[in-house]
Every structure is written in C-alpha cells, then in structure tokens.
Chain A
Amino acid sequence: MATSNLALGETQSATTTRPRVINDFSINVATVNGSGSQSANSVLLKSIFGMGVPVSGKNLFPSNIAGLPTWYTIRASKDGYVARKRDAEVLVAINPETAKQDALALPAGGVAIYEENLNLKQYRDDAVFYPVPLDKITAAICPESKLRKLVKNMVYVGVTAQILGIDLAVVEQGLRRQFAKKVKVFELNFGAVKAGWDYAASTFTKQDPYFIERMDKTAGKIVIDGNAACGMGAVFAGVTVVAWYPITPSTSVVEATTDMLKKFRVTPDGKATFAVVQAEDELAAIGMVLGAGWAGARSMTATSGPGISLMAEFAGLGYYAEIPGVIFDVQRTGPSTGLPTRTSQADLLSVAFLSHGDTKHIVLLPGTVKECFEFGYSAFDLAERLQTPVFVLSDLDLGMNNWMSEPFDYPSKPLDRGKVLTAADLERLGSFARYKDVDGDGIGWRTLPGTMHPKAAYFTRGTGHNDAAGYSEKPEDYVEGMERLARKFDNARKLVPAPVIVSNGKSKIGILAYGTSDYAIRESLDEIKKQYGQEVDYMRIRAYPFAHEIHDFVASHERVYIVEQDRDAQLASLLKLDLPAEQVVKLRSILHFNGLPLDAETVTEEFAAREGHTAISSTHVEDVEVHEGAVAS
C-alpha cells in the first residue's frame, strides 16, 4: 500500500537543482555497541529489500560487549552492487562520542539525521540536517524506561524511512515478520517507527536528493548471513557431531547449526540424532571432530584464526592418518588477537599448510552465501571421499553480514560417504590394508570401529606407518605413503569446486581473486570499463588445490592481478608455488588489509595506477574515521 506523503510532495518543489539520487547510496548508522541497534538496522535493511531494491548491510563493530562505537552501513544499489562503498551519503548519528567525526565524514551534500542535542550543524554547512528529538519522542511513547534504549532505535528507523521515502507498509510488514509470535513486542516497535515517521512527516521538508523507490529486483530473493548459510550447508550434509569453542566471528555458524539440528534432528520420542559439544578449547574441538570422523560420524567445528593456530597439530594428524572432518574458518584480522571484529583473508597460507611436516589441506573458498551453503555440504562429501580434513575459508564480512541471494537449491546428489568396507566386504575380500592404493587414486579403504569382523580392525596413528597401518620407520614405507598422499591431493584438483570465469577472452589482462573480494572486483570491472574504456578478464578461485583452469587462465594472459585482502599476497604466493616459473612472472598483487571489506575504488585506483592510467585518487589505505573520495553524482 502506498502511503502518500505530503512532506515529500512539498520537498520536490523545495529541492534545489540537484538531481535526485534514486536507489544508489549508502546509509551509515552510528550507534553505541550493545544498544540493541542491530535489529533496528536489520529492519531498515529489510525494508529497502522489501521495496525491491538490491541492498547489503555491513556491521562495523568493536571487540566489546557494550559502550564502544559501532557503525552499520546499508548500501542500496539499483545496479546490484553490494560491496562496501567508501562513502555513505546518509548518516544516522546516535552516538555522541563519534557524532562530530561522523558528520565531518559525510560527503558534501550528504544527509545527517541525528539526535537534535548533538547539534551537528555547528560542524559544517554543506550538508542537509534533520535534527530529531529522539529521546523526547521515545519517552512519550514508551513509559517503561528500561525499554527506551531499544525503542529509540525504532524511532530513527521511522524517521529515516520517511525521509528516504520507504513505504511505511513495507516497514510494518518486515516488523510483523520479525516479531511474528510476539504481538506486544511488534506493537511497541511499530509504535516507535510510526512516531518517528510522523515526526519527520510533520516537521521536515525534504531537502536532500536521496530516494528509495520501488523496484522489482529482489523478488524471490532471500537475505541471510554467511555463517547461517554455512551452518545450513552442514545441516543438509547430515552433520552429526559438532564440537566447537566460542570465537568471533565464527560463533554464529555453530549457533545456527545447533538451532537447525534441534529443529530437524530430533526423533518423535524426543531423542537427538546429533551431538553438539562446547569443548574446553579449540584443541579439544578438533580432537573431537577427528575422533568422530574416525568412528564414522560427519563432524565439524567452526573457528577463526587463533583457533586455527591451536588446531595445527591435530590438522597434521588428520592429514597423515587420513581422517575426515570439516573445519569452518571465518577469517578475522590477525596476527595474534589482531582486530577480532574486522575482516581479512590472511589465514589462507596457514590453513593450506596447517601443521608441521609436509602437510597440505583441501581449502574451499566460498564467495557468496549460496556458496557457503553449497560448499558447506560438499565439504563433508569431499572430506569423506578424500579421507582428510577439509577447510571452508569464509571471512567476517561474508559470515556476519547480511547478503541477498537466490534461494538455495536442495542438494541434487546423495551423500558421498567415501570408501568404507563393511563386514560383508571383508568376508568377501578376506583381508584389507588400510592405506593400500588399490584403486590408483591415492585413497585407501577404511573400516569403522564396531564393524563385526575379525579382520576389520586397524591401528590409526600419527607415527610412520606402512600401507597395512603397521608402525614403520622404513624410508621406503614413509616415501610411499607421502607420495600417495601427494597423488591424492593432486587428484583433488578435479574434485573441488571449479573456478568461476566471470569474463575471459576479452583482454590480455586478467584478475584472479577469491571470496568476498568478488563484490568489489565486479564493481571495479565496470568502473574500469567506464572510466578507462578497458575490458579486464576475471576468474574467481573457489578452492585449493588449484584447478587446471586457473593455470590456463594465467597462461592465456600477459598480466594477471591477484586481488586479495591480506598484506603478504598469500593467494599470489600459493599460486606461485603451483605455477610453472614462466607463468609466475606474470603475477601482480593488489592488496587491501585495513580490516574493512574491500571496496571497488581501491581496486580501480590501484589497477589504474599500475596500468599507467591516470589515477582518479591516490588514496589506498584508509581509516575508519577518515572517509575520502568522490561525491556521489
């Protein structure tokens, strides 16, 4: 239902000559951590989504329970760009501590919606100001003082929605859905939205050019964060044992998994067909995963950098003793504790070679929430097929932010439980040797504890062993085993997700990247074409070991830029180990590692500078507080 709006009508005549900016700007909500603003921001995001406008949200939050500043940026993009944008044209300033800096960061002509006593007008005169007595409005509608902190958030949702022209009915619908079973909570929240809306409608004349208008680009789409999508993948893989230790930003992978297991994996008499264990640490979590994988259950853990470090020793055992297990690593910024609530891609090398000795691992690299789901379930098939730990490398940006996506498809193939001999098989065969490469693919056959056959047992160990799993320090046994593992790993190139060719054959220059760098790169490719008239080929890598198509891509280009979110060019390094020497010289790196998600301008500027185009700006590394760049057209 369209709500006609008088204020908006008056606005148009009152607006200056600036052209309207429709469905192509960002909103930056500056609040205080722990104030409950997350659900309000989510309502705002879903309202724009409900208007049919492509949208993405990024939560920039501190490592803190409550009290420190936090920013949530919502980007509406008619063209479907969902990468972080450097500038947000619309500011919702709630946090007094950062209000000045937030106001100064607005691009010229930007919009500030703010608690009126912050008096942001004093800082500049080239923006549009909408002061709102948020506390007064809140107090009037919410007698219970304890709830005011939360309700106030919904008031700014109402104000913002009104100013930007978001349909009130869409906001209402989203809220109703969010509080489906809690009528009173809905009423309180919608009351607050309405109060904000009414205040704005009766007080302001629209002076800024930013509008949300209805589109039809979100029909049938879903909104989900990558961690929930990973958990969903695991659940539809039939995950049965989950062992974990809480760590940001991976915790919600397990929380989502557990919620779904409770929903789908309880028998009619109330018994669980799964086990979730909060372990004493990551050492124990991975130990439980391997114990369960060894005994035949699909098992997983989820962690982040520090947990990965702790899992190193067991990862080597899993590799060498050949035990399946799935490890989700939602990357955050290191080294050490680093920036625990900021995103990064700097775990790639340590995960690929996690543990001492000649160890290497299968690493899946999802770039979308849909891939979080798909790799989330195929990781289990690969782990059992290849009898080895499989890592799914996500990041904080993908994992903890909301993303639009096509709905996920139900897995088309049955579970692949890999090579397991039953008692009947053993009866037929007479015996078996656990690590013997009978099929020529480097993968032996295993048995599970409890297989009722006198020949079923074998001795699993991290010590040197021969193909019958017997203890051995013989050089030839060791070499044979290690070479077989290398063959198995090499064969995995064909089994892991193939790279996505976004564009090929149009240019002598290529870009290679993985994960969330994709969004900024796609937008940057359009920018490069628009600004410099240059086409660039682009392939997105989705797994390690690298598929042969990646070699071909490098071979067929003169220069290849490796775009990644770490300091040390880890993806480029990994590629250099894999490529023939004459190909290695073609690689160039574009690096971004300030803890913020990669943005298109960074890629475009760096690319242009390296390619000798006239750069549009020299900024590269930026800071949270300082926003630089062009004013939105």
Chain B
Amino acid sequence: MATAAPAPKLNHIGLPLVEYRGGKSTLCAGCGHNAISERIIDAMFQMGVEPERVMKMSGIGCSSKSPAYFMSRSHSFNSVHGRMPSVSTGAILANHTMTTIGVSGDGDTASIGMGQFVHLLRRNLPMIYIIEDNGVYGLTKGQFSATADLGSKLKTGVINDLPAIDTCALAIQLGATFVGRSFSGDKKQLLSMLKAAIAHKGTVMLDVISPCVTFNDHEGSTKSYKFMQDNDEPINELDFVASFDDIEVDYASGEVYEVEMHDGSSLRLKKLHEDFDPTDKVKSVQTLMEAHANNEVLTGVFYIDTKKETFLDLLNIVDQPLGQLPESVVRPPKSALDGLMASLQ
C-alpha cells in the first residue's frame, strides 16, 4: 500500500520550491553556473518572492543562458552581448515595482559590456547583478576573459599576461551599494548573500567565482574548484535574518556589523579580518588591492550602503509602474496641444 507523499514544504507566501524551478540546464555537468541557479532558486523561495514579480535579465554567453534554468514563472529577457544593463534599465524604468535579477559573465561584463556595466553602477539602479565569473569564454572554447588573473594558465598552456579587472573594486568605486564576492561552491555564503541582495534597494553587484569544468578547471588556473578551495579567504561571515524570521542571535559587540536592510531584514557580518569595515569605500578597495598582491581570493560582503539614493529616487517617478499608466495620464489633453499651437502662431 502506497503511503501518501509528504506535503511539500511551503514558503511564507504558500508556494513550494518547485514553483521556483526552471528548465533543465544545458550547461556542462558540474558547471558552477548550475550551482548558482540552485542558490537563486533557494534564495527566492526562502525570501518568499512571488515569481511573477521577478524579471530575469541576461546578456550572451554560458552565464546568460542560465535564467532559463531557474524560475520559469518569471519573465525573462536574454538580450545581446554585454548589453544587459541597458535593457534592464529600460525594463526597470517601465516597471520599477519588480525584483530584477541580471545574470552576466566575466566576458559579458568585463570586456564587451564594460561600458554599460560601469554606468549601471554609477546609477545605483535597483537590481541584482551577478557575474558568473570563470575567467574564460566558454561558448567559443576557452579564450581568456578580462577577469583572468595575471599568470594563470589556459589548458593549451597559454599564460595570461594582462592584469585582471577586479569588478568588485570597480563597483565600489563607481557607486554600487551592495558589493560582494562569493564562490559557487560555497552554498551557505552564496545563499545568505543572495537573500540579502533581494532585500537591498540599489545596485547589488555580486562577483561569483564559478569554475568552468571544461576549459578552466585545471592546474595553473586561478578560477578552478581546487584553487578556490585552497585560496578562498572569507573576509566576513554572513548571517541574513529576514524580516519575517523570528530569530535572535547574540554576538559580542565589536565582532559584528549589523546592517538593517530596506525591507526590515538584517544582515549581520561577522568580522573575520580585523579592521575591515564594509561601510568604508576606501578601505574596502584597499583591502581588495592588498588581497590581489597576496594572491588571496577574498570573498564576503565588501561594501554596503543602504542610505544612498537610487536612480529611481533621482528621477522622482510615481509609485505606479510607468508602463502601466493609463492613457488619461500619459496623453496630455487637447487643451495642452491648443496651448502649444497658440504659442507658435
């Protein structure tokens, strides 16, 4: 006699995890990007975000395919190479009430997309921007990208002789208000970071090291699983407490930065490095530069500012989505045209 399957666990808006799933991944087995998709699913589920309230944006590349592999109930826009920021900007202006998550890669962001990337950061447009960072171009079979570290080696033996662009340092400098780095293999850290990202209002820039099992997971690569396991140096330990969670955690004062998020949640960052202050731009960038010099891969939340105005605040737009305003609001009346005509006579 068959026993009834246990009822699936529901999140606080009454949806099971399966409602956050996407299509079957066509990426390589073991690709870091798949793990990131899984964490996005977990984070959205645990945060109780309605899938219909999410826009998934991407550019071109392996990373940019991944929105097809999570949250099928959300609208998605796979655009052109390096230009996800502008498409996202337009979509958010048309409907700023949505939660917007953009998935990009290191080539899509740090090479072809650099122009749009830096301007997105400047604007502090409310969205989550994830770089699935593996240091190589996968779909074109393994050329270096601009985040590949100096001296790292391709499978073919080619050595990278140009310095890496640190997208986190850039993001901090240019105006993103939540900047972190994680590793696709660090479930706990990445999940907490994504949940905090969902709660944040402003540009969240997460550089997630996501090894390419086919082209960049060998000895001599600085973006391999092995290298990350050996060199991942968390700068803080994240503990995210959602507004609807009823948990009290006590820390000795001085050990923890507690950040109150826009939605009433809190992000607690337990210090692992002395003197690291994630609200101090200058120090954060300095710490990142020092880590490069020491060949460390720092992870954690490097910078957070919950007070800075977003681009939407600067534009001072109405609360309703602009794309849904009725004709009576968007088309000026005949008297307006009559007035203009009179002024031109």
Cβ–Cβ contact B93 & A292, under 8 A: yes
Partner of A314, one of B80, B115, B119, B316: B80
Partner of A270, one of B116, B316, B336: B316
Mask of B23-66 contacts with A, CB within 8 angstroms, 1/0? 00000000000000000000000000011110100000000000
A81: interface (CB < 8 Å): no
A472 to chain B, nearest CB (A): 12
Cβ–Cβ contact A236 & B332, under 8 A: yes
Cβ–Cβ contact B91 & A294, under 8 A: yes
Cβ–Cβ contact A280 & B119, under 8 A: yes
Whole-angstrom distance between the alpha carbons of A291 and B84 in the complex?
9
Within 8 A of A (CB), among B295-345: 315-319, 321-325, 327, 329-332, 334, 336-338, 340-341, 344-345
Which residue of the partner chain B has the closest CB to A271? Answer: B318
Q: Given A291-B86, A453-B52, A462-B80, are A271 and B94 neighbors across the interface (CB < 8 Å)?
A: no
Cβ–Cβ contact A281 & B115, under 8 A: yes
Most buried by B among A295, A450, A471: A295
- B contact residues around A314 at 8 Å (CB): 80, 83
- B contact residues around A271 at 8 Å (CB): 316-319
Which residue of the partner chain B has the closest CB to A463? Answer: B78
B160: interface (CB < 8 Å): no
Cβ–Cβ contact B316 & A297, under 8 A: no
B97: interface (CB < 8 Å): yes
Cβ–Cβ contact A291 & B88, under 8 A: yes
Partner of A273, one of B50, B72, B116, B330: B330
Which residue of the partner chain A has the closest CB to B50? Answer: A452
- A contact residues around B340 at 8 Å (CB): 232, 260
Cβ–Cβ contact A458 & B75, under 8 A: yes
Which residue of the partner chain B has the closest CB to A239? Answer: B330
Cβ–Cβ contact B322 & A240, under 8 A: yes
Q: Given A224-B344, A458-B75, are A299 and B94 neighbors across the interface (CB < 8 Å)?
A: yes
B199: interface (CB < 8 Å): no
Which residue of the partner chain A has the closest CB to B115? Answer: A280
Stretch binding the partner chain, chosen from A26-34, A100-108, A406-414: A406-414
Whole-angstrom distance between the alpha carbons of A285 and B55 in the complex?
20
Which residue of the partner chain A has the closest CB to B76? Answer: A459
Cβ–Cβ contact B78 & A296, under 8 A: no
Stretch binding the partner chain, chosen from A84-92, A161-169, A215-223: A215-223
- A contact residues around B334 at 8 Å (CB): 410
Partner of A284, one of B85, B93, B321, B337: B85
Cβ–Cβ contact B323 & A295, under 8 A: yes
A283: interface (CB < 8 Å): yes
B101: interface (CB < 8 Å): no
B287: interface (CB < 8 Å): no
B243: interface (CB < 8 Å): no
Within 8 A of B (CB), among A238-288: 238-241, 243, 260, 263-265, 267, 270-275, 277, 279-281, 283-288
A235: interface (CB < 8 Å): yes
Cβ–Cβ contact B323 & A297, under 8 A: yes
Cβ–Cβ contact B344 & A223, under 8 A: yes
- B contact residues around A457 at 8 Å (CB): 51-52, 72-76
Cβ–Cβ contact A290 & B87, under 8 A: yes
A217 to chain B, nearest CB (A): 14
Within 8 A of B (CB), among A556-588: none
B213: interface (CB < 8 Å): no
- B contact residues around A448 at 8 Å (CB): 75, 95, 323-324
Q: Given A265-B332, A272-B318, A454-B52, are A292 and B327 neighbors across the interface (CB < 8 Å)?
A: no
Partner of B318, one of A237, A264, A267: A267
Partner of A296, one of B115, B324, B341: B324
A467: interface (CB < 8 Å): no
Whole-angstrom distance between the alpha carbons of A307 and B197 in the complex?
35
A451: interface (CB < 8 Å): yes
Cβ–Cβ contact A288 & B89, under 8 A: yes
Whole-angstrom distance between the alpha carbons of A284 and B90 in the complex?
9
B79: interface (CB < 8 Å): yes
- B contact residues around A299 at 8 Å (CB): 90, 94
Whole-angstrom distance between the alpha carbons of A415 and B76 in the complex?
27
A317: interface (CB < 8 Å): yes
Please give the number of chain A residues whose Cβ is less than 8 angstroms from any Cβ of chain B in the complex. 72
Cβ–Cβ contact A274 & B322, under 8 A: yes
- A contact residues around B86 at 8 Å (CB): 243, 279, 283-288, 291
Which residue of the partner chain B has the closest CB to A276? Answer: B315
Number of A-B contacts (CB under 8 A): 220
Which residue of the partner chain B has the closest CB to A220? Answer: B345
- B contact residues around A290 at 8 Å (CB): 79, 87, 90
Cβ–Cβ contact B94 & A295, under 8 A: yes
Cβ–Cβ contact A277 & B89, under 8 A: yes
A449: interface (CB < 8 Å): yes
Within 8 A of B (CB), among A120-158: none
Cβ–Cβ contact B98 & A450, under 8 A: yes
Most buried by A among B75, B76, B321: B75
Cβ–Cβ contact B323 & A275, under 8 A: no
Which residue of the partner chain B has the closest CB to A406? Answer: B341
- A contact residues around B325 at 8 Å (CB): 238, 240, 273
Cβ–Cβ contact A294 & B115, under 8 A: no
Partner of B75, one of A265, A414, A449: A449
A330: interface (CB < 8 Å): no
B241: interface (CB < 8 Å): no
Q: Given A295-B91, A296-B323, are A283 and B83 neighbors across the interface (CB < 8 Å)?
A: yes
- A contact residues around B329 at 8 Å (CB): 265, 273
A327: interface (CB < 8 Å): no
B77: interface (CB < 8 Å): yes
B130: interface (CB < 8 Å): no
- B contact residues around A281 at 8 Å (CB): 115
- B contact residues around A461 at 8 Å (CB): 77-78
A301 to chain B, nearest CB (A): 10
B196: interface (CB < 8 Å): no
Whole-angstrom distance between the alpha carbons of A288 and B216 in the complex?
34
- B contact residues around A292 at 8 Å (CB): 90-91, 93-94, 322-323
Whole-angstrom distance between the alpha carbons of A289 and B83 in the complex?
12
Cβ–Cβ contact A317 & B79, under 8 A: yes
A605 to chain B, nearest CB (A): 36
Most buried by A among B78, B98, B321, B323: B323
Cβ–Cβ contact A291 & B115, under 8 A: no
Cβ–Cβ contact B83 & A284, under 8 A: yes
B196 to chain A, nearest CB (A): 23
Cβ–Cβ contact B55 & A449, under 8 A: yes
Whole-angstrom distance between the alpha carbons of A283 and B80 in the complex?
11
- A contact residues around B94 at 8 Å (CB): 240-241, 291-297, 299
A298: interface (CB < 8 Å): yes
- A contact residues around B316 at 8 Å (CB): 270-272
Within 8 A of B (CB), among A306-331: 313-314, 317
Which residue of the partner chain A has the closest CB to B123? Answer: A277
Whole-angstrom distance between the alpha carbons of A222 and B337 in the complex?
12
B242 to chain A, nearest CB (A): 22
Cβ–Cβ contact A283 & B323, under 8 A: no
Which residue of the partner chain A has the closest CB to B71? Answer: A457
B301 to chain A, nearest CB (A): 27
- A contact residues around B318 at 8 Å (CB): 267, 271-273
Complex A-B: 26 CB contacts under 8 Å = A222-B344, A239-B330, A240-B325, A243-B86, A263-B336, A271-B317, A271-B319, A273-B325, A279-B86, A279-B119, A280-B116, A283-B83, A283-B86, A287-B87, A289-B90, A291-B91, A293-B94, A295-B90, A295-B95, A295-B321, A297-B95, A297-B322, A297-B323, A415-B327, A450-B97, A457-B52
In the A-B complex, the 5 residue pairs with the smallest Cβ-Cβ separation, listed nearest first, are A291-B90, A287-B86, A238-B330, A296-B323, A295-B94
In addition to A279-B86, A450-B95, 18 A-B residue pairs with Cβ atoms within 8 Å of each other are A222-B345, A240-B322, A241-B90, A272-B315, A273-B330, A284-B83, A284-B85, A296-B324, A297-B90, A313-B80, A317-B79, A407-B345, A415-B331, A448-B324, A450-B53, A453-B52, A458-B76, A462-B78
